[in-house]
Amino acid sequence: MNHGKVYLIGAGPGDPKLLTLRAVEALAESDVILVDQLVSREVLAHARQGVEVIDCGKRAGHHCMDQKEIQRILIERAGRGQIVARLKGGDPFIFGRGGEEAEALVDAAIEWEVIPGVSSGIAAAAYAGIPLLHRSHASSVAFVTGHAGHEHTVGAQGADTLVIFMGGSTILQIARELMKKGRPPSTPLALILSGTRSNQTIYKGTLKELSRMERIELPSPVLAVVGNVTALADKLHWFGSPPKPLRLLATPVTAGCV
């Protein structure tokens, strides 16, 4: 009997050169690839000729394939004996729903392997010149989600640095709630749009400045970093354009596709 297998692969934060060597090996071996929308299509250059590519289209607020359907396809294709790559932005186990997919594969007795990726929470900050931990500024960091129902975001107040994923539509409310829970209004923050990509843009300001905005629209992918370490971006930025003042976002940014 021909046994299939599923690779849960982290494609990294956007820059295709940050793909790991193990991910390259798995892509070259795969018969079919299920890819999320925010994954750089340059990564597919490592796949073998004739591979079937299935676009899962997952992007904040726009899912052309729901999670149950994705899991069904993984199980069904591997059950046929195919080698299946599930290609995700960042790391599969950091807000990538890789844990849910792994559980489904185990329940279905499908062989699987997780291939960690460079998380956007680390890489986007690094490309913006923001060390999440710094002996003089921060000794702890929390990675949290900015999706609606973001109690965990506000609850992570004990960390010196907050890294907020998927907060494009809720960041104003999060800023206000962080201050209500005790974060000083003067706390610096950075919004990193399209981190590690050629169009990376950084906006810097404070919680107070952000909370006073009536409305902003941030295109995916966006990462927010809250904490004193963000002040270092002015000195340490090395990739792309220097940080811009947060007030420039007062004019809404129109979301677009990558």
CATH of the domain at 202: 3.30.950.10
Binned at pLDDT 50, 70 and 90, residue 65 comes out as: confident
- Assess if residue 255 is contained within a domain: no
pLDDT tens figures, 200-212: 999 999 999 999 9
pLDDT at 150: 52
CB contact burial 86-103 (16+ within 10 A = b; e otherwise): bbbbbbbbbbbbbeebbe
pLDDT at 32: 98
pLDDT at 200: 96
pLDDT tens figures, 230-251: 999 999 999 999 999 998 887 5
pLDDT at 195: 95
Q: Check whether residue 112 and residue 224 sit in a common domain.
A: no
Q: Check whether residue 149 and residue 105 sit in a common domain.
A: no
- Continuous segment of H or E residues that includes residue 243: none
pLDDT tens figures, 141-191: 999 988 765 555 555 678 999 999 988 888 999 999 999 999 999 999 999
Cis peptide before 221 (omega within 30 of 0): yes
Question: Is it the case that residue 77 has pLDDT exceeding 70?
Answer: yes
Q: Check whether residue 45 and residue 61 sit in a common domain.
A: yes
Question: Is it the case that residue 256 has pLDDT exceeding 50?
Answer: no
Give the strand pairing for 161-165 and 222-226: antiparallel
Choose the final residue of a domain: 74, 101, 118.
118
Read off the pLDDT of each residue in 8-33 and give the average, rounded to a whole number.
97
| Residue span of the structural domain in which 106 resides | 5-118
Q: Check whether residue 108 and residue 25 sit in a common domain.
A: yes
Q: Check whether residue 42 and residue 16 sit in a common domain.
A: yes
What is the rounded distance in angstroms from the CA atom of residue 21 to the CA atom of residue 95?
Answer: 22
pLDDT at 253: 47
Choose the final residue of a domain: 57, 89, 118.
118
User: Which of 80, 32, 75 shows the shortest CA–CA distance to 54?
Assistant: 32
Question: Is it the case that residue 116 has pLDDT exceeding 70?
Answer: yes
Contacts by residues 178-183 (CB-CB < 8 Å, ≥ 24 positions apart): 178/153, 178/154, 178/207, 178/226, 179/207, 179/208, 179/211, 181/154, 181/157, 182/157, 183/157, 183/207, 183/226
Q: Check whether residue 143 and residue 75 sit in a common domain.
A: no
Highest mean pLDDT among 60-64, 193-197, 254-258: 193-197
Choose the final residue of a domain: 92, 118, 144.
118
Percent of the chain with pLDDT over 70: 89
Contact 84, 74 (CB under 8 A): yes
What is the rounded distance in angstroms from the CA atom of residue 122 to the CA atom of residue 18?
Answer: 12
Q: Check whether residue 144 and residue 240 sit in a common domain.
A: yes
pLDDT at 203: 96
pLDDT at 214: 83
Question: Is it the case that residue 258 has pLDDT exceeding 80?
Answer: no
- Assess if residue 140 is contained within a domain: yes
Q: Check whether residue 158 and residue 37 sit in a common domain.
A: no
The catalytic site residues sit at 36, 58, 166
- Assess if residue 257 is contained within a domain: no
Q: Check whether residue 89 and residue 138 sit in a common domain.
A: no
CATH of the domain at 91: 3.40.1010.10
Number of structural domains found in the chain: 2
pLDDT at 199: 94
pLDDT at 3: 80
Q: Check whether residue 99 and residue 131 sit in a common domain.
A: no
The single residue listed with the structure tokens 């706390």 is 187
pLDDT at 169: 82
Average pLDDT over all residues of the chain: 90
pTM given for the model: 0.88
